[in-house]
Amino acid sequence: MSSAPTRRVILEMSSVQARRLRWPVICSSESYMNRLIRHRTRRKAVWGAKPASALLLLLSVALASNAFAAKHQNATPGVPSSRVKAYQLDDELTRRSNGNPLHTSSVIVTLVPGAPLPPEFKKFARGGKLDIINGQVLELPNGLLKQLAAHPHIFRVHYDRPTGMHNYRTSVTTGGRVLNSYGLKGAGVGIAIIDSGIAYHDDLRGSDTKIFPYGNQRVAKFVDFVNGRTLPYDDNGHGSHVAGTIAGNGSDSKGLKAGIAPAATLVSLKVLDANGQGTISRIIAALDWVAANGKSYNIRVVNMSVGAGVYESYWTDPLTLAAKAVTDKGITVVAAAGNHGKNSAGQLQWGGITAPGNAPWVLTVGASSTMGTDTRADDQMAAFSSSGPTHIDFGAKPDLVAPGTGTVSLAIAGSTLYATKAAYLIDGSTKLGSKPYLSLSGTSMAAPVVSGTVALMLEANPNLTPNLIKAILQYTAQSYPG
């Protein structure tokens, strides 16, 4: 049986090999496989580091891709496409509504425009309104789910499904950042990191107290959606590792372990707890905050090295719709693809892209393996990295892949990862009381490589749109057979 075309794109920044665009190859659904294109072509491409002037020359070519994407993506949020059957309770909540009526579920309700939350359900409300999706989080008995869904004020009811980080395993590799030599360091570009927080680290120093209010750190704003604390912290360590890949300055390694955009401004939105767990309602609340406050911090990029299982189409999922609302404001949302490239038996599997990376308006990043070398000739798709087609919508994902194996970035003493990944802690250039670096692998580590790259592009040309950014990164690929 033939399969659909496969295209892979790898981004390189000096010795940092980057991304592959991978079209659907196979699907577990036999009916879908029978509809796949019979002729297969393959190629591998590499995007080399280029100065700002080269990026600007590509705009006329990218405009066509931008117009095409806009034509096919600009539909009304919350309205199902022709392939999506209308419903009020999603599949998981339908199952729960037929179970024990005394058990409770956390749900996200989306309201009919202009309608308030029904008074009889206000006592179940948890947290504030999610304006970005016209929604509200409730915790209520399963026996009331059908009654809630049937109320005329309710458009849909979604399961507030769990989320987690996308780090997979650990090993050791390093890489350079050549675009900084062209003077591009992400200066003036705000990057929101939706993760487990950002803690103090030498590599994130920032001395301008007017911009960075939390002491000598390059964090312009910290919002805690988990514990409600006001000062930046990271009890898991994942978010700080991501932040270092994006914007670390390499202070503890004499610059050797600097991030992609070491002059970028960081906004930390904590949605994961000390164990790296959360819910989609927290992520939606963080995206809601970005939509409302992005201009104040010049947020142009959102990094989401977090994700959730796909339970419904991206046209109805409140998480993907929240990401669309942010993208529609001109902010590029970069999401990790997920680490479901193999099943429990170690066999390759497809359809493992997590939300919101399954949505076409999100720049979805898988992980590549550098195979421990600086040459890109031997780079491969990391075995753990999720592949498309996406579940339910059969979309072509991920959009790109970036280095995601053995990424060395910031370690936070006292965090969960510092304790559980002790074998992979790495010393800096000078002896410190704790080891400042940690090696991790996963699509969580790949996404910030792309987020940092996008910051450099926006520094070079602040007028770039999310669609143009995606088009430029793909169009500037250097093709190779294989």
Please give the positions annotated as active site.
195, 238, 444
Nearest C-alpha neighbor of 241 from the set 272, 287, 214? 272
Burial of 423 by CB count in 10 Å (0-12 exposed, 13-18 middle, 19+ buried)?
Answer: exposed
Nearest C-alpha neighbor of 308 from the set 328, 286, 337, 288? 337
DSSP for 176-227, please give it. Answer: --GGGGGT-S-TT-EEEEEES-----GGG----TTT--SSSSSEEEEEESSS
DSSP character at residue 428: -
DSSP for 23-92, please give it. Answer: -----S-HHHHTTS-S---EEEEEE----HHHHHHTHHHHHHHHHHHHHHH---TT---TTSPP-SB-HH
CA angle 216, 286, 291 (to 5 degrees): 95
Query: Could you tell me the strand order of the sheet in which 162-165 lies?
Result: 277-279, 162-165, 306-307
Nearest C-alpha neighbor of 201 from the set 264, 246, 261, 251? 251
Bridge partner list, 159: 107
Give me 121's structure tokens. Answer: 């359900």
3-state secondary structure of 392: coil
